[in-house]
C-alpha cells in the first residue's frame, strides 16, 4: 500500500459529470488528505490496514489535525488490487481511524473527480509512505 498524505488547509471535490452539468462541491475543512493506493499484495497482508492507520494517526498528531479525508488513488504503483478490495481496505482504515477519535471522510469510489487541495507549507505537510 502506498499513501500520499497532505496537510491541507482546505480540500474540495465534485464528480466530473457530463458537459453542461455542475454537481455540488463537497468542501472539507483543514485536515489530512490521504491518497491511498491499495496494491495487489495488500490482500495477503493482514497488517496493511494497521500500518496505514498507524502512519495516518502519527501524521495527524504531528500536524495537530483531527480530520482525515481518504481518497482511493490507483496511480502510485503499477500493482493494483481490484476495486472492491481497495474499497474494503479503505473502509477498514476509515473505521479504525474513527475508533481512534478522528473525523473521517471517505471520497466515494467509482467516479472521476475534479478536486482542489490547498497544501500547507511545513515539511510534514507532504509525506509519502509505503506500508
Kindly report, residue by residue over 17-75, the tens digit of the pLDDT: 767 777 889 999 999 999 999 998 888 888 999 999 999 999 999 999 999 999 998 88
Q: Where are the domains of the chain?
A: 2-24+47-130
More confident call, 105 vs 40 = 105
Single pTM value for the model: 0.92
| CA atoms of 99 and 101, how far apart (whole Å) | 5
Q: Does domain 2-24+47-130 have CATH number 3.55.40.20?
A: no
Contact 1, 131 (CB under 8 A): yes
Q: What is the pLDDT averaged over residues 83-95?
A: 95
The bridge status of strand 2-15 relative to strand 113-119 is antiparallel
Given a cut of 90, whether residue 107 has pLDDT beyond it is: yes
Given a cut of 90, whether residue 129 has pLDDT beyond it is: yes
SS3 state of residue 81: coil
Amino acid at each position: 500500500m502506498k499513501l500520499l498524505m497532505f496537510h491541507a488547509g482546505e480540500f474540495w471535490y465534485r464528480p466530473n459529470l457530463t458537459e453542461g452539468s455542475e454537481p455540488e462541491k463537497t468542501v472539507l475543512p483543514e485536515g489530512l488528505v490521504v491518497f491511498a493506493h491499495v496494491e495487489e499484495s495488500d490482500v495477503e497482508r493482514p497488517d496493511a490496514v494497521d500500518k496505514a492507520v498507524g502512519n495516518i494517526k502519527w501524521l495527524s498528531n504531528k500536524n495537530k489535525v483531527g480530520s482525515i479525508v481518504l481518497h482511493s488513488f490507483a496511480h502510485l504503483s503499477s500493482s493494483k488490487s481490484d476495486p472492491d478490495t481497495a474499497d474494503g481496505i479503505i473502509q477498514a482504515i476509515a473505521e479504525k481511524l474513527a475508533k481512534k477519535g478522528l473525523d473521517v471522510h471517505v471520497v466515494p469510489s467509482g467516479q472521476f473527480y475534479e478536486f482542489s487541495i490547498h497544501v500547507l507549507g511545513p515539511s510534514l505537510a507532504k509525506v509519502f509512505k509505503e506500508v
